[in-house]
Structure 1
Amino acid sequence: MKILAAGGIYIDRTSETVPFIGGHEVAKLIGSHSRHAVHLHTNFSTEAARDTKALKQSLREYGVDPKFAVRVSASYGLIDGDTVVPGSNVFETVSHDRLKKMTDIDLLVLTTDISERDFRMLLSHARRHSIPAIVFTCSEYASYDTTGIDNYVLTDSGVPDYHMHIGEIARTLEAQDIIGSAPVERTRRESVRPPFHAALRVLAQLVAISALLALLAFGVLYTLGLAGNDETYDTYIDPDQAVDHADCSTIAECRALGDDHLEALHAYMDIQDAPHLFVENRTRTAYITYTIRDYALTDPEVHRELPVGSQAEYEEVWDRIVTFFPNEYIDSINRFELFSDGEGGTLAYVDITESGVTFGMDIRDNQDRPSEYRTLIHEFVHVYSLPIEDFSHDGTELEYLKEDTLMSDFIDRFWSRYGEAWIENKFKSDPERQAFYNNNINDFYEPYQATNPKEDFAITFVEFVTSRMPESGNQLKDVKVRSLYEDPELVKLRVDILSNIVEYEKERAVDEAQGKN
């Protein structure tokens, strides 16, 4: 049987004899107590080369093949009593290309001390391909779907001390005939040996580095105007096209009305004042999760005490969501989560699945109104543009996007020029992503927009709502904004969002003047 185990690697600050602990030890248990082919997904640190080399050797001695593991430029996580520093474990390294190499897995064994996104992707992969899955958890995540999996809660501490529960884990696996009661002696043929093609790997790395340097150089040339793209793009805006709106009846009228609302909003704020920045690879801590019923917050599930602010203060964020956006576009949202990954990380997120949509807001970010409002618009349009019905599998991975949908049309029109390899850039290295952005700098307002078409559409929509239409110019980033004026529904939506924000700000200003807030 071929088993893939996924678990984290942490350094135990309290131990002088066993430095590495974490979920990867489950893989060692299976490898040493069975004759199965055991593979490990984890994140090795490139900043501790000597320790990593020793750990890989130890894994092989226990019958674990680490070839599915990934190297990241971060220190290993640390555990010191109840204090946990995630370190390298928080990096999101599971990609669809890597998952395609795992279709012949017979069993997936997971622990919850890896990146939550990677955990969910692996679990989704198992469900999609009918691979049995076993999860051992120390309650590092607030919640996840346990449908169709064997889920074992070892503790509710949130500390990934799986080594303290190895006996319980062993008994569970033995009861399912996955391991035996005693270690096995692997034959030479069964043993996991290190690869003997280091020279070829070094050569391949040198070739890749050379190619990357060439790509970066081309990006610099493009930025300096020494290379470029002469393509032109057209939009097909019919100013007289009908719009079904009570206050305006054509594209031209609704565009002008939206601009009027934008001008009125300037009396209260400059909604363009805040940068729209996102930082990835941060761990999330969930504080409160609400169930949404009839557009209202219900059944708050408190995971941890709020470190800043009050519950009532953050519940007002949901009130603004319901106020700003028409109900028919947010009726799929059935969970609202207050979380944080620290200041300056992910401002918000949406998780769109067949069971509904979770809308999460960071309690430490979005402290000024322009930033919060732009964030709400950004996440709202993800919900609008990525309905689960547009995908052939649960989730919004672009490889499962159906034809003749809003997002597929957007990709065909604006992303086909880059080639299939550049449709999803989230899992590429920072130099690769920066080179792609530099080489196409006139196509995007900011680097994050070049992550993939989903983020491109969201940031384009934010610009569409919060700015006047760029009248001319052939830069693709402006063309994309103009293209949204081709769609009467989007033009109508712009009017409604801006009108709702203006009315909300008027009421807020009156309340402040009367001393109500």
Structure 2
Amino acid sequence: MRSTWIAVTATVAAIILGAGLWGTIGAAALAVSLVASTSTASWQDDLGAPTEPVPRSDDLDPFPVTEVYDVGADGVLTPEPTPEAAKVWKSIERVFTPRGAAARIDQLRLGRDVSSDTMAWVSRSESVEYWTFAANLAYAADDDDWMSTVVHEYAHILSLGPESADAFAVTCDTLWVGQGCLFSDADLLTFSDRFWNRYTDAPDALNVDADVADAFFSAHEGDFVDAYAATNVTEDFAESFLAYVSEDPVEGDDLLSQKIAFFGDYPRYVLVRERLRAELGWD
């Protein structure tokens, strides 16, 4: 989820507006783009095969949903999208690539609620390899901010898919996050072990309380891209990934610099960064 304040629940990863991003990203959330990517590269080939279906909840929406579109295997929306919906879908295709978007998203939900601080959220769909992507049209018109939100949501899907977490685990010996129990080789678990295990006052992995995050951020402000990243390790991963993609390389031994540099140790993320920076004009 990404919001004016950004949060993840047990079933939804979302983004909220109010937190300022690290470096030159500033206080914005994420930006929208109008042209579909021409890249044929897709991260989805690196992900594991689907396993069992996960029930979809209809009680997840942080803002009223007024438009629902099914995404076909060819990436075509049904029913025919409005121009505004088509624009949102094209922005998603630019980040995910058209092939990747069709392979990972099976439903697009849209609403418009300026009173909601949630910009977008993603949630596991009925089959674990698919996701619902929801966007608040009240914020999607800001091209400079919206695309960053889509990148943040992309990071959630990259790190919380069926290749990374067991949604059906009865017990968990690693870390239970919004989409299940992380596998021992999950990138998000490595990130958590390296950067979050050092704290004795860290919020729970399922924390969504802004006050808890603000207090934690105040105590360790230099360690995070922004206050929203201090919500829980999942949001920290997504916000740090966004900074990695959107910012120039950083050098330093401080914890924040190490978090940004973390993704450079994984060829998959390096390739994603190169593609997105070229596609979105962030070079």
Alignment TM-score, normalising by the size of structure 1 = 0.39
1:272 aligns with 2:46: no
Could you say which residue in structure 1 is the equivalent of 2:217?
A: 437
- Aligned residue type for 1:460: S
C-alpha distance in 2 between matches for 1:429 and 1:363: 23
1:403 aligns with 2:184: yes
Structure 1 residue 479 displacement after superposition: 1.4
Structure 1 residue 342 displacement after superposition: 2.2
The correspondence of residues 195-214 of structure 1 with structure 2, limited to 5 A, is none
Could you say which residue in structure 2 is the equivalent of 1:414?
A: 195
Could you say which residue in structure 1 is the equivalent of 2:160?
A: 386
The correspondence of residues 445-460 of structure 1 with structure 2, limited to 5 A, is 445-460=225-240
Could you say which residue in structure 2 is the equivalent of 1:465?
A: 245
C-alpha distance in 2 between matches for 1:371 and 1:295: 28
Cα 1:420–1:375 change in 2 (3 A) is same
* Contact 1:273 1:370 (8 Å CA) reproduced: no
- Aligned residue type for 1:373: M
1:340 aligns with 2:91: no
Could you say which residue in structure 2 is the equivalent of 1:489?
A: 268
SS at match of 1:442: helix
C-alpha distance in 2 between matches for 1:273 and 1:295: 36
Q: Deviations over 1:273-330 (max 9, x none)?
A: 65228xxx994200111111134233239xxxxxxxx921231111122133335643
C-alpha distance in 1 between matches for 2:73 and 2:237: 28
1:326 aligns with 2:97: yes
SS at match of 1:358: strand
Cα 1:399–1:320 change in 2 (3 A) is closer
* Contact 2:243 2:260 (8 Å CA) reproduced: yes
C-alpha distance in 2 between matches for 1:368 and 1:273: 14
The two structures, once aligned, show a CA RMSD in angstroms of 3.1
SS at match of 1:285: coil
SS at match of 1:284: coil
- Aligned residue type for 2:232: N
The correspondence of residues 83-122 of structure 1 with structure 2, limited to 5 A, is none
Could you say which residue in structure 2 is the equivalent of 1:53?
A: none
* Contact 2:250 2:261 (8 Å CA) reproduced: yes
1:349 aligns with 2:121: yes
* Contact 2:214 2:227 (8 Å CA) reproduced: yes
C-alpha distance in 2 between matches for 1:282 and 1:398: 17
Q: 2:75 aligns with which of 296, 306, 317?
A: 296
- Aligned residue type for 2:146: E
Structure 1 residue 388 displacement after superposition: 2.6
Structure 1 residue 423 displacement after superposition: 3.4
C-alpha distance in 1 between matches for 2:141 and 2:260: 27
C-alpha distance in 2 between matches for 1:299 and 1:350: 19
- Aligned residue type for 1:336: L
- How many residue pairs get matched? 224
Q: Deviations over 1:420-442 (max 9, x none)?
A: 96332624472x33221111111
Cα 1:319–1:282 change in 2 (3 A) is closer
Q: Please identify the structure whose Cα radius of gyration is greater.
A: 1
Unaligned runs of 5+ in 1: 1-94, 97-115, 118-270, 302-309, 504-517
Structure 1 residue 403 displacement after superposition: 1.5
C-alpha distance in 2 between matches for 1:397 and 1:420: 20
Q: Deviations over 1:482-504 (max 9, x none)?
A: 1211111111111111222239x
* Contact 1:282 1:345 (8 Å CA) reproduced: no
Cα 1:311–1:329 change in 2 (3 A) is closer
C-alpha distance in 2 between matches for 1:364 and 1:428: 23
* Contact 1:289 1:337 (8 Å CA) reproduced: yes
* Contact 1:329 1:384 (8 Å CA) reproduced: no
Cα 1:421–1:493 change in 2 (3 A) is closer
C-alpha distance in 2 between matches for 1:358 and 1:399: 17
SS at match of 1:416: coil
Alignment TM-score, normalising by the size of structure 2 = 0.69
Could you say which residue in structure 1 is the equivalent of 2:66?
A: 287
1:478 aligns with 2:262: no
- The percent identity for this pair of structures is 26
C-alpha distance in 1 between matches for 2:179 and 2:200: 14
- Aligned residue type for 2:196: W
Unaligned runs of 5+ in 2: 1-8, 13-23, 31-59, 169-175
- Aligned residue type for 2:134: G
